[in-house]
Structure 1
Amino acid sequence: MTEIEPFPVSIPEHDLEDLRARLDHVRLPEAETVEDGTQGIGVERLRSLLDAWRQHDWRSLEKRWNAIPHYRTRLDGLDIAFWHVRSPEPNAFPLVLTHGWPGSVLEFESVIGPLTDPVAHGGSAEDAFDVVVPALPGYGFSERPREPGWNPGRTARAWAELMTRLGYERFGAHGGDWGAFVSTELACLAPERVAALHLTMPVASPLPEDLATADDAEKAMIAQRDRFMSTGPTHVIAQAMLPQTLGYSLLDSPAGLAAWLSQALVGFSDTRPEAGGGVSVAQQVDDIALYWFTGTGASTARWYWEAVRWTPRDAEAQNARAVTVPTACTLFPGEPFPVARRWAEHRYHNITSWNEMEYGGHYPGWEKSAVLVSELRNAFREARDR
């Protein structure tokens, strides 16, 4: 199937009934024995999240989803689902937005309108985009791979073909989390086509000489990275080593899936009250329900197994894959693995802007959508005219 076909979403009613029954018979363990969060998501927090899920209106989410033009096409042997929204403005600039884990295309739901129709949202027609939001292989309504090899590099090649199929020879790319890896690879793969790149998580690490000459701000970043590596990357280790074993629980237990995803959705967002509180419970439940009804707990976990066998492990190897296209970066303080500009410059050779925000975390599309819209408009303004 090389043609592009509309793909409306409609989950069978018996799947909703099955979920309701499972939620009614959830078995929870006793409470954690500490209050500092070091044992993981607390039982009372999970109980509240499950109560919110019981009240969730999936049919309402389907209506929102289907109000956005949604399609499916076959790329490199796999059916990929994506939103594609053309702007009413004739000179709109094509932009592909790529999500990560434990997120989904839902991260970008609230930015599609302002990006495609800026005039209707207080902006200028000159900032209009045609927006493409594909679901990563094995995520959402994209097909689950049946063979190994679907890593960020292969996905970037598929994205390039998708943009060709949609009629876009030249375009911009944005990503965070795995979306940053895919978008970076896309810029390396097709620098003549990627007019500019915007990242909220540059894929870069300090070199030994960077560590030796770190200033106070960089030392604080290094300390934060070290803290994360000592306590935070449980999901990376588990999903990179035993995604299939973990997948059985994620597919069979709504409580297990909710706990696993919410741990990261909350843990990597900016939960300070003055920042807005991070990813809301409503946003979490939308995302968790999507994973549940698409049965993608194992296939999304398997992305880590694929990526660690593909991703260069050290900074020197990463930097060998240099990015030459104009690159704009927006950094948020809740990001668990911060990057200094000096480190990023080893790999991204044409950084056009580096903006460090006061609030926000790993999921700006959910946490700070207006900020993300503004940053995207600014990032691609010059690229339109090149």
Structure 2
Amino acid sequence: MNQVIEKTGAGAPAIRPFEFRASDADLADLRRRIEATRWPDRETVNDSTQGVQLATIQKLARHWATQYDWRKTEAKLNAAPNFITNIDGLDFHFLHVRSKHENALPLLMAHGWPGSIIERMKIIGPLTDPTAHGGGASDAFHLVIPSMPGYAFSEKPKTTGWDPVRIANAYIELMERLGYVEYGVSGGDWGAIIVEQMALKTPSGLIGVHTNMAGVVPPEIDKALARGDPLPAGLTEEEQRACDQIAFAYKHIGYALLMGDRPQTLTGFADSPVGLAAFMLDLYPKRYEMLARSIDGQPEGETPDDFLDNITLSWLTNTAISSARLYWENKTPYFSVKGVTIPVAVSVFPDELYEAPKGWSEKAYPRLVYYNRLPKGGHFPAWEQPELYSQEVRAGFRTLRMQ
């Protein structure tokens, strides 16, 4: 199953090693800007209903300016094999971490927004070297973790057209360029949408999909929820709960509406690191509350440093606006059925934007090979609950490895 054909020689596309080191001047400028932040008035309520609370963002900013160490994260990034290759006229950055275990399954892992390759760093060890993390050698993966166009170290598109469908095509080309004859894909957030678009192309090498943000909502229900129209009768309790969650999500995705309509208006995020951090902190209420508790010193799966790693990467690469444009480019629905016919594994985390019902999942994915509900974790489980997430990826592909 896991034969690899190396594409080398004079005619092969170039794959170049890559390393990043921020300048001392850029890091000093970042600290200066954080310390010079002009703060708004405190919110007029005692909760987060008006958005990111002043005390929370000020505490995060103090930590960022005085204790946070980007060089530690930079060293971890550079310790992984980093590469650049040009696909469809654009330079793509990706991590390519091969397992030491024989017959490891190649797996492309697609990130989302406001994430990056950073959100996948915690799971590299557990998935490439499972014997050192409570698994067996038969659960090993070779990992390919690309940065989306306009994110982190991938090139920023200078023309329109880089939507999830085009990114999916580029990711298929990347796996073929690396010589992988058979491989799997896994994604969350935008990554979930992109890997489903890859599946719709049915490339010969793609054996299955793992997702933690399943696209299983019947289109007519998704449209009704987006418009606030009445729902059809006969929904199960599980389906009604999912509808309530999606309706809530649609009321709290102002960030997506703004980026989808006027991304270039967010110019301030290229000038104010604290402004950028506050915007990315307030993704949706459950995630904000989890991060706020973590910033306040209550242990959570995602630490303040985890969050700052990703914000600092976005700041140093000046990709806040270029990454936001993906929302403007997108014409694909977030949650509704796409028509995927290849094998799919679904992991349902309780604090996801919505918990995909099993019945909907079985209808949306006629070849559903795995479905599991987890006790904890949210929209970015690889960040928040890396052990659980790694177990889910292993379990999701275990059936497919035996075929």
Range of TM-score over shorter length: over 0.9
Displacement of 1:153: 0.6
Aligned pair partner of 2:254 in 234, 238, 243: 234
Q: Structure 1 CA distance, aligned partners of 2:25 and 2:54?
A: 28
Alignment CA distance shift 1:335-1:276 (3 Å) = farther
Displacement of 1:138: 0.8
2:53 pairs with 1:47: no
Is the Cα–Cα contact under 8 Å of residues 94 and 147 in structure 2 kept in the other structure?
A: yes
Q: Structure 2 CA distance, aligned partners of 1:313 and 1:139?
A: 20
In the alignment, which residue of structure 1 is the partner of 2:228?
none
Is the Cα–Cα contact under 8 Å of residues 258 and 288 in structure 1 kept in the other structure?
A: yes
Deviation string 1:58-91 (CA, Å, 9 cap, x unpaired) is 1111111111111111111111111100111121
Q: Which runs of 5+ in 2 are unaligned?
A: 1-11, 222-230
Q: Structure 2 CA distance, aligned partners of 1:385 and 1:122?
A: 20
In the superposition, the TM-score normalised over structure 2's length comes to: 0.89
2:260 pairs with 1:249: no
Is the Cα–Cα contact under 8 Å of residues 334 and 362 in structure 1 kept in the other structure?
A: yes
Q: Structure 2 CA distance, aligned partners of 1:381 and 1:313?
A: 27
Alignment CA distance shift 1:331-1:306 (3 Å) = same
Q: Structure 2 CA distance, aligned partners of 1:183 and 1:269?
A: 26
Aligned pair partner of 1:206 in 218, 239, 243: 218
Deviation string 1:246-285 (CA, Å, 9 cap, x unpaired) is 1x11111011101011112774378398996353211111
More displaced 10-residue stretch of structure 1: 260-269 or 372-381:
260-269
Is the Cα–Cα contact under 8 Å of residues 269 and 334 in structure 1 kept in the other structure?
A: no
In the alignment, which residue of structure 2 is the partner of 1:9?
20
2:376 pairs with 1:359: yes
Q: Structure 2 CA distance, aligned partners of 1:313 and 1:174?
A: 16
Aligned pair partner of 2:125 in 113, 123, 135: 113
**SS of match in other structure, 1:382:** helix
Alignment CA distance shift 1:183-1:56 (3 Å) = same
Q: Structure 2 CA distance, aligned partners of 1:24 and 1:66?
A: 28
Aligned pair partner of 2:137 in 98, 120, 125: 125
Displacement of 1:154: 0.4
Aligned pair partner of 2:182 in 170, 178, 181: 170
User: How many residues matched?
Assistant: 378
Aligned pair partner of 1:217 in 224, 238, 260: 238
Q: Structure 2 CA distance, aligned partners of 1:322 and 1:190?
A: 11
Q: Structure 2 CA distance, aligned partners of 1:113 and 1:162?
A: 22
Is the Cα–Cα contact under 8 Å of residues 266 and 279 in structure 1 kept in the other structure?
A: no
Q: Structure 2 CA distance, aligned partners of 1:277 and 1:24?
A: 26
**SS of match in other structure, 1:59:** helix
Displacement of 1:2: 2.9
Deviation string 1:326-350 (CA, Å, 9 cap, x unpaired) is 1110011111233222233343221
**SS of match in other structure, 1:97:** strand
Residue identity in the other structure for 2:282: Q
Paired-residue identity, %:
39
RMSD: 2.1
In the alignment, which residue of structure 2 is the partner of 1:134?
146
**SS of match in other structure, 1:264:** coil
**SS of match in other structure, 1:345:** helix
Is the Cα–Cα contact under 8 Å of residues 78 and 143 in structure 1 kept in the other structure?
A: yes
**SS of match in other structure, 2:290:** coil
Displacement of 1:354: 1.2
